[in-house]
Amino acid sequence: MEEMVNVYFYGKKYTVPAALTIQTAMEYAGYTLKRGVGCRHGFCGACATIYRIKGKNELKTGLACTTQVQEGMYITQIPYFPTDKRTYDINDLKANQKVMMELYPEIYSCIGCNACTKACPQSLKTMQYIAYAQRGDLKKCAEESFDCIMCGTCSVRCPAGISHPMVGLLARRLNGKYIEPEAKHLTKRVEEINNGDFDSAMAEMMAKPIDEVKDLYNNREIEK
């Protein structure tokens, strides 16, 4: 017999296999995930979830696609959370500390509670990359936030109202445009694409049966 556990989606009790993730357990229970969720034709990071285990006071966060169900788990999805994304033209910005002071001054209101780091389902050192942004160390901010999937769970828990994913995104954009050396091989490849050098190869690929395309992908030579 497959082990089963009792979970609660939006307050309603369901009995589901213990091996499932929250996302697949919801589908097992009859929920249809049509939009929003990345692996269901939406955005990765959109399945941010809050849950609490019956009998325990601690409120936990995670991604529904990677968090396994537990007995007595009370679950609710975090609705769209409006992180504050500032409008800017990357070509008008400079990679210095001033840019963060002007666009995201709330980062200097951080109280060091570390709730953002504790909430991150990617186990990123979120408070640390905000500290790098405060000091104008955009390269380190970009590197520390590199695996962010923009789920916004950190911002939900932040008492200072910091939009951590947007700060990290700005740092990565500035780092890529102004700090890291130019990837000349990439520039060359973009020029080749714009010149139509791969048009015939793409047309040939598009004409192949889907199974053949999958086989080519699975057996491709991966650059090291």
CATH number of residue 32's parent domain = 3.10.20.740
- Helix (H) / strand (E) element for 6: namely strand 4-9
Query: What is the count of structural domains for the chain?
Result: 3
The answer to whether the beta carbons of residues 8 and 74 sit under 8 Å apart is yes
Q: What percent of the chain has pLDDT over 70?
A: 94
Of 43, 77, 111, the residue at which a domain comes to its end is 77
Q: What is the rounded average pLDDT for all residues in the chain?
A: 90
Domain identity same for 98 and 168: yes
Q: Is the pLDDT of residue 141 over 60?
A: yes
Domain identity same for 17 and 46: yes
CA distance 115 to 33: 29
Domain identity same for 32 and 71: yes
In a domain, 186, yes or no: no
Report the pLDDT value the prediction gives residue 76, as an integer from 0 to 100. Answer: 87
Domain identity same for 98 and 167: yes
In a domain, 224, yes or no: no
Sheet containing strand 48-53, edge to edge, reads 12-17, 4-9, 73-77, 48-53, 60-63
Domain identity same for 49 and 130: no
Residue pLDDT, tens place only, 98-108: 999 999 999 99
Full domain range(s) for residue 30: 4-77
Local structure of 53: helix, strand or coil: strand
Residue pLDDT, tens place only, 8-29: 998 899 999 999 999 999 999 9
